[in-house]
Structure 1
Amino acid sequence: MKNNNLLILLVFTSFFSFSQTYEFETTIDLEATDVISQGSTGTCWSFSTSSFLESEIRRLTGKQIDLSEMYNVRHTYSKKAWNYVMRQGKAQFSQGGLAHDVINSISEYGVVPNVVYSGLSDGETRHNHSKLADSLKTILNTYLDNTKAYTSNWKTDVEETLDYYLGKDITTFTYEDKQYSPQSFLEMTTINPRDYVTITSFTHEPYYSSFVLNIPDNFSNGDFYNVTLEDLVSIANHALKNGFSIELDCDVSEKTFSSKHGLAIIPEEDNNNALINVSKEKHITADYRQQEFENFNTTDDHLMHITGMLKDQNGTTYYKVKNSWGTKGLGNDGYIYMSEAYFKLKTISIMIHKDALPDAIKAKLFNN
């Protein structure tokens, strides 16, 4: 009986010694604007990149400016519509996009504050683009079905639809008692679109070269710089440690990505308690990452904004990731604490200011 009791005690003690709830210590916490919701839209790419640029403005000028996400969205819809028509409907037309679409938009059209272009009609408080996207695609498909029978101008119809759902485009506005155009406002922020680069890590293209990543939302054929997986992590860590936040494109389809718990991990084994108790994670290699990308377990389904780093009680590194799903009922006030293993496996790409690159990696990328 004593032996049985001793065995039970050992099992009980062993279980609780290995079952640790997460305890986090923040090691880097960069300034960022408040977490907000993208509503019922697929425009995380604009919300996350706008948040990233807001932190860049704070870093560069000390100014806190709430940028309009929908101003970028409006102009990108027009670009996507043109691409869809010119490819005769043999391309994706959806609400999705990538970080460089925002950079392309501000290069051509500048930026505006949210207070002058919210993209919401009178009385609306939440974005919903289901009717907008359906209306735009109907116009484009109707035109493509029979271009000769289309009685109006499809480009005009697209712009009028955007006017109706998002608001008319603007060329001048007043902000803090000063008159601006979108381009002069961009100049005031000191953001230079040419300063931002997108970094990825895949084995099907040469390292330290650039290439067009063939993913559905890359309608604009943006270039990605390719580095080793180890260098991708080094770049992210170096950027954060030197005061640069990071735009993140990643996969969030894993059941261990939880906005409720505010956590994203890759446990070594299936474990129903992995989001509650600290669990050993998988070792992520470049080959495994590539395999998950090629079998579509890793896709570019969400973009967010990395604003800091944390560690748990065992010293494991996590990234503090600002999401755009609001804060109500979500863990960590709408932030996700993403383990390094999750980052290594599920990141499609990151965007950073080129000055955030370590010198040795910058030389490899730009001197080849």
Structure 2
Amino acid sequence: MKNNILCYILVCISLVSNAQSYEFKTIIDLDATEVISQGNTGTCWSFSTSSFLESEIMRLTGKHIDLSEMYTVRNTYPKKAWNYVMRQGKAQFSEGGLAHDVINSVSQHGLVPDTAFKAVLDEKGSFNHSKLIDTLKITLNQFIKAPKQYKSTWQQDVTNILDIQVGENISNFNYDGISYTPMSFLKMTKINPDDYISITSFTHQPFYTNFILNIPDNFSNGSFYNVPLDDMVSIVNNALEKGFTVELDCDVSEKTFSAKYGLAIIPNDGQDYLQALTSISTEKTITQTLRQEEFENYNTTDDHLMHITGLLKDQNGTTYYKVKNSWGKNSKRVGNDGYIYMSVAYFKLKSISIMVHKDALNKHFKRWLLD
């Protein structure tokens, strides 16, 4: 018995002594704006894609422009409401959205700087949409239930609600002493909405084709190009190497996705997740089959959108993506200044899709994606 206890103690000492804290070396670090918080809203899709476009503006023009996330939100909700009404309430109506919803809004409504759009804030100076969806749904459901008895127009009522809870829309503004409309401001940024491509990797549709990804937040029926998993990883790596950042939609429900530690990993089965977040652990090998299984059993869902801005390696040579989050950075609950260091294993298993500029693609990818 004493020998068994001694052996156990020695094993524990060996494990502790062999544990290595993470040490990261930056390999690629591309321009991005400051990490901010989306507050009490479900609008990560606008915050992350706006950040992505801000980096694109830096790349294209050298200008550092803080875009208004809420201007895009304000112009996307009427489309959500239309979809809900036209489907007679038989559709999801929530705060969620995807990167292409921002691109669609940019194409139709342009861009404005954060200083131009007077977004509604709560008493703490934060975004707070905790009552927005319920308020909108009450109005929309009243119309759907009895359209002939509805006394006003639901479109105008939606506009009034959005004006009060998100902010009033704008048609012109001044920026750096110049008068703009949202569309002329878009032209100044050199952003072309047609240049951006959404890419995913799932086996229930043929590779090297595009299809509508049936996930709840794809209310606008956005199309995605489907590629093998290794190709999707290659596209991200190639984009970063060429100076292009990448928009990311992924699942963040894993215990080993931690804003506190600023880390996202997929340790092997049986490993303690807290230990894995503080000490380097071996990760699970991710296959296309496992990725598909996790998607089809709902272990991987489109929880959250973020912005990949760089590449790092730990002391063992494992590669991680530097991922800009939108949960703020001035908090004890947020590590790495609001960034997540995401292992390639986590990306391969838990990503839903990416968005990149078409010029970030290698020639052989462009050939079948853009033909």
TM-score, normalised by the number of residues in structure 2: 0.95
Counterpart amino acid of residue 287 in structure 1 = T
Q: Which structure 2 residue ranges, 5 or more long, are not aligned?
A: none
Work out the CA distance in 2 between the residues paired with 1:16 and 1:169.
Answer: 58
**Counterpart secondary structure, 1:42:** coil
Q: Shift of residue 235 of structure 1?
A: 0.2
Instruction: Specify the alignment match of 1:216 in structure 2.
Output: 216
**Greater mean deviation of Cα atoms: 199-208 or 114-123:** 114-123
Written as runs of structure 1 = structure 2, the 5 A alignment for 1:121-270 is 121=121, 125-270=125-270
**Counterpart secondary structure, 1:38:** coil
1:360 to 2:369 alignment:
no
Instruction: Specify the alignment match of 2:282 in structure 1.
Output: 280
Q: Shift of residue 125 of structure 1?
A: 1.2
Instruction: Specify the alignment match of 2:81 in structure 1.
Output: 81
Give structure 1 regions of 4+ aligned residues with deviation exceeding 6 angstroms.
Answer: 3-10
Is the contact between residue 264 and residue 338 of structure 1 (CA under 8 Å) also seen in structure 2?
Answer: yes
**Counterpart secondary structure, 2:148:** coil
Task: Provide closer, same or farther for how the CA distance between residues 366 and 61 of structure 1 changes in structure 2, counting only shifts above 3 A.
Answer: same
**Counterpart secondary structure, 1:296:** coil
Structure 1 residues 224-263: Cα deviation after superposition (integer angstroms, max 9, x where no partner): 0000000000000000011000000000000000000000
Work out the CA distance in 2 between the residues paired with 1:222 and 1:29.
Answer: 30
Written as runs of structure 1 = structure 2, the 5 A alignment for 1:39-118 is 39-118=39-118
Instruction: Specify the alignment match of 2:316 in structure 1.
Output: 314
Work out the CA distance in 2 between the residues paired with 1:136 and 1:248.
Answer: 28
Q: Shift of residue 122 of structure 1?
A: 8.2
Q: Shift of residue 15 of structure 1?
A: 1.9
Structure 1 residues 258-297: Cα deviation after superposition (integer angstroms, max 9, x where no partner): 0000000000123331101111000000000000000000
Work out the CA distance in 2 between the residues paired with 1:71 and 1:127.
Answer: 13
Task: Provide closer, same or farther for how the CA distance between residues 154 and 59 of structure 1 changes in structure 2, counting only shifts above 3 A.
Answer: same
Work out the CA distance in 2 between the residues paired with 1:215 and 1:5.
Answer: 52
**Counterpart secondary structure, 1:274:** helix
Counterpart amino acid of residue 357 in structure 1 = L
Instruction: Specify the alignment match of 1:325 in structure 2.
Output: 327
Aligned length, in residue pairs: 365
Counterpart amino acid of residue 197 in structure 1 = I
**Counterpart secondary structure, 2:71:** helix
Work out the CA distance in 2 between the residues paired with 1:314 and 1:71.
Answer: 44
Identical aligned pairs, as a percentage?
66
Is the contact between residue 39 and residue 126 of structure 2 (CA under 8 Å) also seen in structure 1?
Answer: yes
Is the contact between residue 68 and residue 118 of structure 1 (CA under 8 Å) also seen in structure 2?
Answer: no
Instruction: Specify the alignment match of 1:300 in structure 2.
Output: 302
Instruction: Specify the alignment match of 2:292 in structure 1.
Output: 290
**Counterpart secondary structure, 1:63:** coil
Structure 1 residues 110-167: Cα deviation after superposition (integer angstroms, max 9, x where no partner): 0000011141258661001122221111110111111111111000000011111122
Q: Shift of residue 361 of structure 1?
A: 1.5
Work out the CA distance in 1 between the residues paired with 2:278 and 2:32.
Answer: 27
CA RMSD of aligned residues (A): 1.7
**Counterpart secondary structure, 1:248:** strand
Work out the CA distance in 2 between the residues paired with 1:126 and 1:81.
Answer: 24
The counterpart of 1:342, out of the listed 321, 335, 346, is 346
Instruction: Specify the alignment match of 1:271 in structure 2.
Output: 271
Work out the CA distance in 1 between the residues paired with 2:44 and 2:287.
Answer: 28
Q: Which structure 1 residue ranges, 5 or more long, are not aligned?
A: none
